[in-house]
Chain A
Amino acid sequence: MNDSCRAARKPLPTLWSCILGASFVLLLVMFPESARGQETAAFFKQNCYSCHTINGGRLVGPDLHNVTKRKDREWLVRFMLNPQAMIDRGDPYAKQILDESRGVVMAQIAGLTRERAFLLLDLIEAESALEKSQFEGVKFSDRPFTAQDVFQGEQIFKGLTPLANGGPACMSCHTVRGLGLLGGGRLGADLTKVSERVGGRKPLSAWLVSPATTTMQPVFKLHPIEPEEILSLVAFFEDSAKRVGDDDSVAPLTFFLIGLAGMVLVLGLFDSLWKNRFRAVRRPLVSGGEMRTDA
């Protein structure tokens, strides 16, 4: 009885999976090759373009022009999937790249699979063959920064001037030294010397076009920063790096003294707050403090 019931119900899921499978195959067949290429280009733009160009010179990372000729594909894919592991393993070429990038390790890319890595290499190869690649690098004005730029950048960093496309203010996660008493957020990196760290105006600007870290990417994917805003921010970062100079730590003694003074202050406050507190009765009585002497 039971068996027949189960048997009667069985064909239904099988039918569904057949329909689903058929439509999937149909989709794959109908999906044009160019569409997949476009998707890869979008991925490149979102994840790689902030540090790399193709035939546009190096930014934070090296120019990827003809990278497939410099190293074999297998090595490149392994590096793309886990750059830190390659460096840790002591691969000489990986080390060389690291030195050239002044110690900035390539970020782990979210959503990068082995298959996608090969597609990316295809894309780079195809773009390298072109006269003029679409990934030659974003063109920014290289006019000298004015005080107005720096001021505007600081306003954007602090969130006093909101980002045009609705992205969150930098200060909610980052700090820059000399930004008032409490500074900014401590969740992200300290950006005081970021322009020196990434190698100047051009790479920093490129980086801000589509920030590629796992934390920033999802936040800014839908709210890209406008080119004028990037210009102001970079002006602000360059200025702050210059302003702070080499003094990059508060002396531990100062901290200690501030702590000590704070403690004394708090104890003094407690003492005055509870100045009428109970103090011993019996012992002063016996030791003569309140004893009557006329007896």
Chain B
Amino acid sequence: MNVRSQISMVFHLDKCIGCHTCSVACKNVWTDRKGTDYMWWNNVETKPGTGFPTRWEDQEKYKGGWEKKHDYIQLRCTDKKRIVPNIFHNPHMPSMDDYYEPWTYDYQHLFTAPEGPDQPTAMPISKVTGEHIDIEAGPNWDDDLGGSPIYAENDPNLDGLSDEQRQQMFAIERLVMFYFPRICNHCLNPACVASCPSGALYKRGEDGIVLVDQKKCRAWRSCVSACPYKKTYFNWFTGKSEKCILCFPRIETGQAPACFHSCVGRIRYLGVLLYDADRIEEVANLPDEELIEGHRSLVLDPRQPDVIAAAQRNGIHDSVIESAQDSPVYKFVKDWRIALPPHIEYRTMPMLYYVPPMSPVMSVRTEKTLDNISDNLFHDIEQARVPMKFLASLFGGGHEAKVVYALKKQMAVRWYRRALTVGDVTQDVADQMLREADCTLEEAEAIYRLTSLCTFEERFVIPPAHREEAIEMMEDPHENRESVGFGFLSGPRRGL
């Protein structure tokens, strides 16, 4: 057992209201520099939809992630034979059009326009050419199902659906959508790290945050094509790749990352997971249907004495182990098993989990009343407006069972609380549902509390960074303390 610690995340999609506050917070903190206009380290997509960049989940085109070939996984975008012809011309690079051409507006014109019969307008100007442009695409072009016949209907996750299911999904009174906020997953088996010819990307030992060394990056852009989630971006101004850094300067000082901190719906949870690094390779090579369970089995119980001992042997600080014991992520992923990794079939072992969203409650009109209780209490899940197959494609690696389990448990908790507070169902019914959903009373209470009444400290259990331990590996910590902060800062530049 090779125990390591990873700062992991859970996004509770049933709570996301799609307000984009996270995206804006991130943009204001990190990506409002020159050359980062088009980057959205955090973005919120509407599902069904094609996302950003357009149809990023279509790996036939984008060639991201790993695929299993000859019993062993290898990168889709390149292999040992192709690395030489491809190094100077990466053939799987998304074009600017698949993101969007960044633009601003000609605000000055509002002041300098000659007097005339009409109000002057601020025309959009390309931030690439400086010319007026017709905006054709943006980071959020299909937000709230905008342009559905083109965008929503081309969601790659709809591929497994029958034509009838598709038509129902877009029928005017059954329209359904949910939001899918995305940041870097800080994967256990990151394709970006594996693909970098310069060795510029690395996974931080102490907390598993995946970073690009701006001094080592040589602009090959392999990471851009290798990341199946398209969460590494190339900065054309500095000539270096950039990605979400999980606000590590904030984490190191005990603050939640900007997008977590600002989340209006409080959908985001953050905490440490201890995992077994020796088994990553074995799990990444499992057959598709065993991936989710295998991925979950990598996460170790931080209360088990042998895990604690192994963690201590690996130099994980006691305070980090304690933090892992309080981790809300552990509860969602291991205790309750209702948080699932996105697109596990890419085999990067993402460490950001999603609680799948519930569909709107389906009601039946009888005479003059709306009846929303059917005999089959889990009826809503099977008959949900969002076909299970669609959610399974996103969060189940194509298999429905794990998603159904997560949704049933959420629904049982809902009915359990309804029996307590509204009382229109009896406690017996609620108990039966909990039983069927494999959920104890205490568990239901805990899920309810951490979902609905969670405090800041419960959502974000940030381990002490122990920077001194990391510094100790490089230099004398005393010397570092005495000299740090004095000198020159120089930003990344093009060239060597």
Contacts and interface: CB of A to CB of B under 8 A. Distances in A.
Interface of A: 273-274, 276-283, 285-286, 290-292, 294-295
Q: Which of B89, B92, B154, B225 has the most CB of A within 10 A?
A: B154
Contacts of A294: 163, 166-167
B150 A286 contact: yes
A278 B63 contact: yes
B91 A281 contact: no
B154 A278 contact: no
A278 B53 CA distance: 13
A291 B149 contact: yes
A278 B94 contact: yes
B61 A278 contact: yes
A281 B155 CA distance: 12
B149 A285 contact: no
Nearest to B153: A292
B58 A281 contact: yes
Contacts of A295: 148-149, 153, 166-167, 170
Q: Which of A278, A280, A285, A294 has the most CB of B within 10 A?
A: A278
B55 interface: yes
B97 A280 contact: yes
Contact of B136 (A286, A291, A292): A286
Contacts of B95: 278, 280
9 contacts: A278-B92, A278-B225, A279-B61, A282-B55, A285-B50, A285-B55, A285-B151, A286-B136, A292-B153
Interface in B142-172: 148-151, 153-154, 163, 166-167, 170
B410 interface: no
Given A281-B53, A282-B98, A286-B136, A291 B85 contact: no
B97 A282 contact: yes
Contact of B91 (A277, A280, A282, A286): A277
B260 interface: no
Contact of A281 (B55, B89, B136, B150): B55
Contacts of B225: 278
A286 B149 CA distance: 10
Nearest to B137: A282
B54 A278 contact: no
A281 B170 contact: no
B54 A276 contact: no
A273 B85 contact: yes
Nearest to B77: A278
Contacts of B54: 281-282, 285
B93 interface: yes
A257 to B, nearest CB: 27
Nearest to B91: A277
A261 B62 CA distance: 33
Nearest to A295: B149
A274 B154 contact: no
A279 B137 CA distance: 17
Contacts of A283: 97
Q: Which of B62, B94, B150 has the most CB of A within 10 A?
A: B150
B285 to A, nearest CB: 24
Contact of A285 (B63, B92, B150): B150
Interface residues of B, number: 30
Contact of B98 (A274, A276, A277, A280): A280
Instruction: State the majority secondary structure of interface residues on A.
Output: loop
A285 to B, nearest CB: 6
Contacts of A277: 91-92
A281 B98 contact: yes
A235 B286 CA distance: 76
A266 to B, nearest CB: 13
Interface in B343-384: none
Nearest first, the 3 A-B pairs at minimum CB distance are A277-B91, A282-B54, A274-B91
B241 to A, nearest CB: 17
Contacts of A291: 149-150, 153-154
Nearest to A277: B91
Nearest to B62: A278
Nearest to A286: B150
Contacts of A274: 85, 89, 91
A285 B150 CA distance: 7
Given A277-B92, A279-B61, 13 more contacts: A274-B85, A278-B61, A278-B92, A280-B97, A281-B54, A281-B94, A281-B98, A282-B137, A285-B55, A285-B150, A291-B154, A295-B148, A295-B149
Nearest to B93: A278
A30 B93 CA distance: 84
B234 to A, nearest CB: 14
A94 B50 CA distance: 86
Contacts of B61: 278-279, 281
Nearest to A294: B163
Given A274-B89, A290-B154, A282 B149 contact: no
A278 B149 contact: no
A174 B225 CA distance: 51
Contacts of A280: 95, 97-98
A279 to B, nearest CB: 8
A191 to B, nearest CB: 41
A285 B85 contact: no
A273 to B, nearest CB: 6
Contacts of B163: 294
B106 to A, nearest CB: 25
Nearest to A285: B154
B40 to A, nearest CB: 15
B284 to A, nearest CB: 24
A279 B95 CA distance: 8
Nearest to A283: B97
Interface string B83-127: 001000101111101100000000000000000000000000000
Contacts of A278: 61-63, 91-95, 225
A281 B63 CA distance: 13
A237 B232 CA distance: 66
A43 to B, nearest CB: 55
Nearest to B99: A282
Contacts of B63: 278
B193 to A, nearest CB: 21
B414 to A, nearest CB: 33
A277 B89 CA distance: 10
B174 to A, nearest CB: 13
Contacts of B98: 280-282
Interface in B164-184: 166-167, 170
Nearest to A278: B92
Q: Which of A276, A279, A292 has the most CB of B within 10 A?
A: A292
A189 B54 CA distance: 62
A26 B98 CA distance: 92
